[in-house]
Chain A
Amino acid sequence: MAYLDHAATTPMLDEALAAYVAAAREVGNPSSLHAAGRHARRLVEESRERIAAALGARPSEVIFTSGGTESDNLALKGIFWARRAGSLNRSRVVASAVEHHAVMDSADWLGAHEGAQLSWLPVDGTGRVDPAALAELIEAYGEEIAVISVQWANNEVGTVQPVAELARLAAQAGIPFHTDAVQALGQVPVDFATSGAAAMTVTGHKVGGPAGVGALLLGRDVNCTPLLHGGGQERDVRSGTLDTAGVAAFATAVEATVKSQAAYALRVGALRDELVDRVRAAVPDAILNGAPDDRLPGNAHFSFPGCEGDALLLLLDASGVCCSTGSACSAGVAQPSHVLLAMGADEDRARSSLRFTLGHTSTSADIDELLAALPGAVERARRATAWKTPR
């Protein structure tokens, strides 16, 4: 099997798995006062410090959550509520048009249920946000903006956003800036302090940690209203008994991937370039989507004209190749990718796209397997497109 869907989730690192198992054997709620609780607490706090050190944050800025979706919801809704509580006029949410659904749907929810006004930042043909567009919005709305959210890198096409520049514009206007760095962490250098962001989402299972644990890095001076109420375990911003084993494994994975990031980017980036070259040689009309240079090292995203991404996925899966159309599902029905549409692609091109993402376990053999199956799959998928035409 060739696993080319590391952006969906990537295998756990051995050391993270070992850390998980070791911690999971121990009893102890980190909120308990007795010896077992203190032991768990120590493990959690050491993990928090390791994550903070690896990501350029203070330990108190690390809020553990259940993962990327919760962190994005907490950032968007929590900061929106806190900002609007300060001034009723601050009710505008600004986000890019290519955000992950965890951000996009949170913004839409605020629009539908909390009276938020929404502004979507456009992207260019490579999926990149133009900082000038944000500057214009800030110029137009200024104090009315409650929160701005732009991802560090796109989950579908891998384009890296000019986060530091966007964060600086937001900071100059005194507006909290959130960035979803789920896809970027471990792939490109990510540093919370130097990014200038007020809040940043990261998650465990994209960096070789377990699924179900992540964090929101939240600047100490950033007010955020909780989503989850209860024991107030995490700075009173997030409640719920902490997953000690998950947190320990998460910290191990973050530390390891940040440490090896530069070497990883070189090795996996070279593999990715090989994949791109070979796909283009095999399917000459394949279109590489996303930024040519400023993209995640493991990401290759193509449109295959005349194919349905769905059909390609089915055929490649049958040949033992795991990849993704990268688009959202409702009842399992693939919708044309909002990312591709925002980049100016028409619906056919958006529907014809397929994402291959490499990771720490990828080798040239995976690419061999893909290339053995791809030309035949493309040919069949093209024949199958005729069914679309109603008779």
Chain B
Amino acid sequence: MSGGVDSAVAAARAHDAGHDVTGVHLALARNPQTYRTGARGCCTLEDSRDARRAADVIGIPFYVWDMADQFHANVVDDFVAEYAAGRTPNPCLRCNEKIKFEAVLDRAVALGFDAVVTGHHARLDGEGRLRRSVDEGKDQSYVLAVLTQGQLDRAVFPLGDSTKAQVREEAAARGLAVADKPDSHDICFIADGDTKGFLQRQLGDAPGDIVDGRTGERLGSHNGAYGYTIGQRKGLDLRVPAADGRPRYVLSITPVTNTVTVGPREDLEVGVVTASKVIWHGTSTPVECEVQLRAHGEVYPATVTVEDDTLTARLASPARGVAAGQAIVAYQRSDEGDVVLGSATITASAPLLTAHA
């Protein structure tokens, strides 16, 4: 129970369903003051009190579990290391994988609990398959797709059939004071929302070159490649205009040479995505399906092949701004909520033209 509205209503619904429910708030900050303050966080003293109050209203026991060390090792350190390696991690996904449905789940099961209930917006159908929420705008299946079938079998998502608006209404009707608490958006362990500044403090300055992807020409310099995201256009601060006068975008980041490569928009286009660390739920491949390449990103029709621990997706139309380190999640379209077929971590991408090379 983060102290937000979703987990409070999820707990209330699980309790109403007749389960023996215990509320758990995760203390994730080694020093609670160092993480985000205010009402939007998931790790502040205020949030802990909000969660406790919600548990009181529901009428369930409430405990704070100290997961600060596990969170730091598996989420925060991983986040920094991934950026240092030129990739773009998703810490919420990692937290679901390693904290909520591993550290917490393992401890809970050992203590005699059957499952972990969360306020994620996603559905689990009768066959244990993960599906998108009815609220497509709030759907969180993308950051849950990393869970193995074993983890999903111990997960309960009571909110998947409701929209966020319905959840808020229900919270108000239940007398939960968190009903109108604002959503959290930013990364919870970056207090001021300044990811670049956070990485700079963690990784220090690492000056390097910005080069043109087609000519190899040096166009400028940077203070740390981790400050750039694939597809980024603003803030490149290039003094030399492109020959054709068109804007340039970050195409890739090469940690070995500490180089940021830029080029025109069409060079961002990707037709083939390769990924590793595959979680696949058994559908035989190749399979025609849809893939999503970042949280809340658009979906692309694709042909997905899984071989050993490698997933390859050939996109029917090009995608832009595909970053290594993000997850690729494959969905089978369905009117009862798109079904998650599997998930993997993007390692490489290639343009359409070389797709057959």
Contact = CB atoms under 8 A, between A and B. Distances in A.
B63 A310 contact: yes
A141 interface: no
Residues of B contacting A: mostly? helix
A137 interface: no
Contact of B27 (A331, A380, A387): A331
A390 B73 contact: yes
B52 interface: yes
B308 to A, nearest CB: 23
B64 A333 contact: yes
Nearest to A315: B111
A337 B190 CA distance: 30
A384 B110 contact: yes
Interface in B7-58: 20, 22, 25, 27, 32, 45, 48, 52
B113 to A, nearest CB: 10
Contact of A314 (B52, B63, B69): B63
A391 interface: yes
B74 interface: yes
Contact of A332 (B52, B110, B111, B112): B52
Interface in B49-84: 52, 61, 63-66, 68-70, 73-74
B73 A332 contact: no
A330 interface: yes
Interface string A319-356: 00000000001111110000000000000000000000
B32 A391 contact: no
Contacts of B25: 332
A386 B111 CA distance: 11
Contact of B110 (A330, A386, A390): A386
Interface residues on A, range: 20 to 34
B115 interface: no
B124 to A, nearest CB: 23
Nearest to A382: B110
A386 B66 contact: no
A318 B70 contact: no
B64 A331 contact: yes
B153 interface: no
Nearest to B46: A331
A248 to B, nearest CB: 32
Contacts of B110: 380, 383-384, 386-387
Interface in B69-113: 69-70, 73-74, 98, 102-103, 106-107, 110-112
Contact of A333 (B20, B66, B102): B66
B61 A317 contact: yes
Contacts of A331: 27, 32, 45, 48, 64
B61 A314 contact: yes
B103 A387 contact: yes
B239 to A, nearest CB: 46
Contacts of A82: none
A334 B61 contact: no
B22 A330 contact: no
A386 B112 contact: no
Interface string B249-277: 00000000000000000000000000000
Contacts of B107: 311, 384, 387
A163 to B, nearest CB: 36
A381 interface: yes
B27 A314 contact: no
Nearest to B68: A333
A331 B98 CA distance: 22
A311 B61 CA distance: 13
Contacts of B68: 333
Contacts of B61: 314, 317-318
Contacts of A381: 111
Contacts of A334: 66
A381 to B, nearest CB: 7
A381 B112 CA distance: 9
Q: Which of A310, A330, A333, A383 has the most CB of B within 10 A?
A: A333
A387 B98 CA distance: 11
Nearest to B70: A390
Interface string A282-314: 000000000000000000000000000011001
A3 B47 CA distance: 29
Nearest to A317: B61
A318 B22 contact: yes
Contacts of B22: 314, 318
Given A315-B112, A383-B110, A332 B64 contact: yes
Contacts of A310: 63, 65
Nearest to B98: A391
B112 A380 contact: yes
Contact of A384 (B52, B64, B66, B111): B111
B74 A380 contact: no
B63 A332 contact: yes
Contact of B111 (A329, A380, A390): A380
A382 to B, nearest CB: 9
A381 B61 CA distance: 17
A331 B32 CA distance: 8
9 contacts: A310-B65, A311-B107, A314-B111, A317-B61, A330-B32, A384-B110, A387-B103, A390-B69, A390-B74
Q: 9 closest pairs, A vs B, by CB?
A: A332-B64, A384-B110, A387-B107, A383-B110, A333-B27, A333-B66, A387-B106, A390-B73, A331-B32
Given A332-B48, A387-B103, 12 more contacts: A310-B65, A311-B111, A315-B111, A329-B64, A331-B64, A333-B68, A383-B110, A383-B111, A386-B106, A387-B106, A387-B110, A390-B74
Interface of A: 310-311, 314-315, 317-318, 329-334, 380-381, 383-384, 386-387, 390-391
